[in-house]
Amino acid sequence: MYYAYKYRLTPSDAHREELDRHRDICRQTYNHFLYRLNEYDRDGIPSMSALRSELPDLKQWWDDLTDVYSRTLQVVVERLYDNLSSLSALKRNGYSVGSLQWKAPRDYRSFTYSQRGFKLDKKGGRNVLWLSKIGNIPIRLHREIPDDATLKQVTLKKEPTGEWFATFGVQMDREPPTKPESPERCVGIDVGILSYTHDSDGFSVESLDLSEERERLEREQRKLSRKQHGSVNHRTQQRVVARRHADLKRKRRDFLHRLSAYYAREYDLVAVEDLDAKGLMGLPSNSRNRASAAWGTFLRMLEYKCEREGTHFVAVDPRGTTKECSKCGVSTDKPLWVREHSCPSCGFEVDRDLNAAYNILARGLDHVGVVHSESTPVKTALPTGTHSVPAQRVVEAGSPALTERTAQAVSE
């Protein structure tokens, strides 16, 4: 199993200067080999190993290359070929693509140590990351890397805020947990905007309120527009805007991480809609709220965490989950502003999102071959009411509905 662990670096001014210099040398190396590839267009592109073999000769007249770890320079060439492969894949899928462009300093923000040339250590009671040709850089290990993990690589990245982060690629020699053949605790999740998630157990989590963060971002953007482009004040204000963007992004991702981890740990089967999040962005109106919801990110997080926890993750066809009655199967058209489902055939009345969650769960159970009752919306008895949980509780506690579930169990 392969995971990524991201930590913040706290380099000194001297280390920052050295990290920036290494990053820029890698950028120039990338541009150099891109130029070399453009020379080969007529005769065919050489192999990656052939291009990497030019590095020793290149160091004889380009002295700066000797200051960068050799394996890091090889990864630069691999990165170039990965970009070419991605471009070719888009072209094969029918997209109109151009050619790779040279990287400006602001476009090339990271470089990688692969397999060797780095080590986590402790110096003077502090955690440090040792990098070949750079030295020891203090690192904030806010969570421990498992003892059975093998560090495969580390990527150093400079964010637009000026902060440096280290992302470790970690290989764990352990088999993923076995998924139960007959899952007992099952849940269907319907995602939305007003209620971010509404599950088949009758619990909903409100969307995260980011209005204050957006207001601060817009205020700083207005200040940036009044600065003279290219001036010191303009560059300083750009950093401020970048920090506001980072605050908003971190708060959203923290919310999504906690919510997805909860569902992956508490259930044996999680059924969701197989949404085309990118396609939904092209729909008219309300695109800002859809983008802020980050449904695609949430579903990706939920998928890999379910795999890690040994939970069934099932993505079902989203068509008709809102219109279809979860009790009798009759479809009823309803506009978006109608928030209650009332079936004209069987008279079943329930919250619109809860009805959709029932349908998602039923389709998920069918997908894994679990037999469920046809007389009730789902296999087990479910609460008919809806308990709404503020998003702030998810951020603070990390368990969106434990308080409500515990209180309900005691009362019963």
User: Buried b vs exposed e over 15-28: b needs ≥16 C-beta within 10 Å?
Assistant: beebbeebbebbbb
Q: What is the pLDDT of residues 278-331, one digit of tens each?
A: 766 666 666 677 777 788 888 999 998 998 888 999 888 888 888 888 778 777
Gap between the Cα atoms of 400 and 392, Å rounded: 9
What is the predicted pLDDT for the residue at 398? 60
Q: Give 105's contacts (C-beta < 8 A, 6+ positions apart).
A: 24, 27
What is the predicted pLDDT for the residue at 244? 94
The CA–CA distances, whole Å, from 278 to 199, 293, 296 equal 23, 12, 8
The token pair at 59 is: 């160091």
Could you tell me which residues are beta bridge partners of residue 199? 189
What is the predicted pLDDT for the residue at 74? 95
Gap between the Cα atoms of 10 and 91, Å rounded: 41
Give the closest residue to 317 by CA, choosing from 375, 378, 260, 366. Answer: 366
Q: Give 33's contacts (C-beta < 8 A, 6+ positions apart).
A: 51, 54, 76, 77, 80
In this prediction, the residues of the chain whose per-residue pLDDT falls under 70 are 41-43, 277, 279-287, 335, 370-412
Give the closest residue to 29 by CA, choosing from 60, 67, 55, 49. Answer: 55
What is the predicted pLDDT for the residue at 396? 63
Gap between the Cα atoms of 135 and 64, Å rounded: 17
The token pair at 315 is: 């993505």
What is the predicted pLDDT for the residue at 386? 56
Phi then psi for 206, rounded to 5 degrees? Answer: -65, 155
Give 215's Cβ-side CA count (13 Å radius).
4
What is the predicted pLDDT for the residue at 69? 94
What is the predicted pLDDT for the residue at 166? 95
What is the predicted pLDDT for the residue at 372? 55
Q: What is the DSSP string of 366-392?
A: HHHT----SSSSSSS---SS-EEE-HH
CB neighbourhood size of 98 (10 A):
7
What is the predicted pLDDT for the residue at 406? 38
What is the predicted pLDDT for the residue at 409? 35
Q: What is the pLDDT of residues 232-267, one digit of tens each?
A: 999 999 999 999 999 999 999 999 999 999 999 999
Helices assigned H by DSSP within 65-210: 70-92
